[in-house]
Structure 1
Amino acid sequence: MRGAFLRGSALAAALLCASMGTQAALFEDDEARRAILDLRQRVETIRTQGAEENAQLRRSMLDLQNQIEQMRGDLARMTGQNEQLTKSLSEMQQRQTDLDTQIKKNEPSKVAIDGREFNADPREKADFEAALGVFRAGQFAQAQTAFADFVKRYPQSGYNASALFWLGNAQYATRNYNEAIANFRSMLSLAPDHAKAPEAVLSIANCQIELKDTKAARRTLEDLTKAYPQSEAAQAGRERLSRLR
């Protein structure tokens, strides 16, 4: 009986040990599962955070690319504006240069004619030279008109004494002797010391001779030799005077 008790005790002990082993195994499986679940949760959290960070990074990169493109567009517009401004500035500078050149062309400049110096604007000079060119071409009627217009157009011109002289000569050539005498006298009144003054006096005498006014011509020639005794015109006047009767 004692043996049976011992066998029963041994069996009970064995069952108890088996039960304790099973409980220990179950406890270890729960811990392992919890550890696995916890690990999975952390992995999922990391994965979620990584996805969010990647999405945020992609959004940031997209924003940066948009900003870069906008800056490129702004730079292109600024470059275009700068090019337009540079072109406009260059055009303005060219217009200013052209205007300065035009102003300089129209500014009076010093000229010298028949021993006299004065300032004349380019148009005035051109008109006088054109009229003189017509006279030298032998177109005396046209020259008469040109010089008469010049004197009217430029009443204060330094060319006027010379213009009146050539106007008188053009009128002499077209046999307008009285008009020629009037203009020669106007020339002498305006500039008695003019280089062509002696010639103007001689021309007056020539007109008077053509008009058959010998008495007036003689008086004019005598005035010539007295007023301008050393001039070539005076020498010619003396010869002309010796032939007058």
Structure 2
Amino acid sequence: MSIHRNPSPWRHTAAAVAAALCLGASSLASAALFEDDEARRAILELRQRTEAQRLNAERVAEEQRQEISQLRRSLLELQTQIEALRGEIARQHGQNEQLLRELADIQRRQKDIAQGVDERLRKVEPAKVSVDGREFIADPTESRDFEAALAIFRKGEFPAAQAAFADFIKRYPQSGFRPTALFWLGNAQYANRDYRGAIANFRALLTASPDHPRAPEAVLSIANCQIELKDNAGARRTLDELVKAYPQSEAAVAAKERLARLR
């Protein structure tokens, strides 16, 4: 009788383990293959993104280079314009300085011309003068001639002074200088011992300008001429008239003293 033996439990277990191992190995292999595909895709995508970023970076860099180049060109043009403006400003500044110099020269010439005109006008135009406290209008030549005659008198050249004042009165009969000229003419005649001629001119002064500042002196001078002519009576009458007509004058004081000596 043959004996049939059943497989041992260990054998079944070993077979199951072996089958499981085979299945696991197959699963692992499949998983590994899947993971490799994913990795390749991920790497490819990464490379694509990297390449895209690189290209984008190059594009941006190129744009920036173009912008910088444009800015440099703009700056160069601006610098050129600035230099041109500086040159223009310098040119205009030079022109302004030249214009200022020309203007100053014109103003100086204008001032010189105006002064020259004023001087010429002063030589020919009548001007206000003041003599013996009286103001009036006189021509420049009239003033010069009077001053010239007076200067001769002050130098003690009485004959020449007499001639100069007589000529002045003849040339300027309506002059505001006339009363004073008559006074000095009379004094020159008195110094030249022409007493009658002096009396005539002193009286002409009193007739024309009885209120003239020189009038009291003229009356006193008439009395002096009368004394020189030995006309004491006439001198006393003249001195009395002086004291009555001009009591507050210095000439009146002198007249009183001379009256005391004549009486």
Considering the TM-score relative to the shorter chain, is it more than 0.5? yes
Equivalent in the alignment of 1:103: 121
1:151 equivalent among 154, 157, 169 = 169
Q: CA deviation at 1:102?
A: 1.8
Question: Quick check: 1:197 aligned with 2:211?
Answer: no
Partner Cα distance (2:262, 2:216) in 1:
19
CA-atom RMSD in angstroms: 2.0
Q: CA deviation at 1:95?
A: 8.1
Q: CA deviation at 1:135?
A: 0.4
* Match runs of 1:160-239 below 5 Å: 160-239=178-257
Return the letter of the residue paired with 2:165.
F
Q: CA deviation at 1:105?
A: 2.3
Partner Cα distance (1:170, 1:111) in 2:
23
The secondary structure found in structure 1 opposite 2:239 is helix
Stretches (4+) displaced over 4 A: 94-101
Equivalent in the alignment of 1:70: none
Higher RCO (CA 8 Å, separation ≥ 6 residues): 1
Return the letter of the residue paired with 1:234.
A
Partner Cα distance (1:101, 1:227) in 2:
44
Deviations 1:180-200 (A, max 9, x none): 000000011111111111000
Q: Choose 1 or 2 for highest CA Rg.
A: 2
| Unaligned runs of at least 5 residues, structure 2 | 1-108
Q: CA deviation at 1:99?
A: 5.5
1:124 equivalent among 142, 145, 148 = 142
* Match runs of 1:60-79 below 5 Å: none
Partner Cα distance (1:230, 1:104) in 2:
39
Structure 1 vs Structure 2: percent identity of aligned residues? 66
TM-score normalised by the chain length of structure 2: 0.56
The secondary structure found in structure 2 opposite 1:112 is strand
Equivalent in the alignment of 2:259: 241
TM-score normalised by the chain length of structure 1: 0.60
Partner Cα distance (1:222, 1:237) in 2:
8
1:115 equivalent among 102, 110, 133 = 133
The secondary structure found in structure 2 opposite 1:212 is coil
Deviations 1:75-105 (A, max 9, x none): xxxxxxxxxxxxxxxx9xx989855642342
Deviations 1:29-81 (A, max 9, x none): xxxxxxxxxxxxxxxxxxxxxxxxxxxxxxxxxxxxxxxxxxxxxxxxxxxxx
Q: Which moved more, 1:95-104 or 1:139-148?
A: 95-104
Equivalent in the alignment of 1:73: none
Question: Quick check: 1:138 aligned with 2:156?
Answer: yes
Contact 2:123–2:141 under 8 Å retained in 1:
no
Return the letter of the residue paired with 2:254.
A
Return the letter of the residue paired with 2:178.
N
How many pairs are equivalent? 155
Partner Cα distance (1:229, 1:96) in 2:
51
Return the letter of the residue paired with 2:224.
N
In structure 2, the CA distance between the partners of 1:100 and 1:199, relative to structure 1 (3 Å rule), is closer
Return the letter of the residue paired with 2:202.
F
| Unaligned runs of at least 5 residues, structure 1 | 1-90
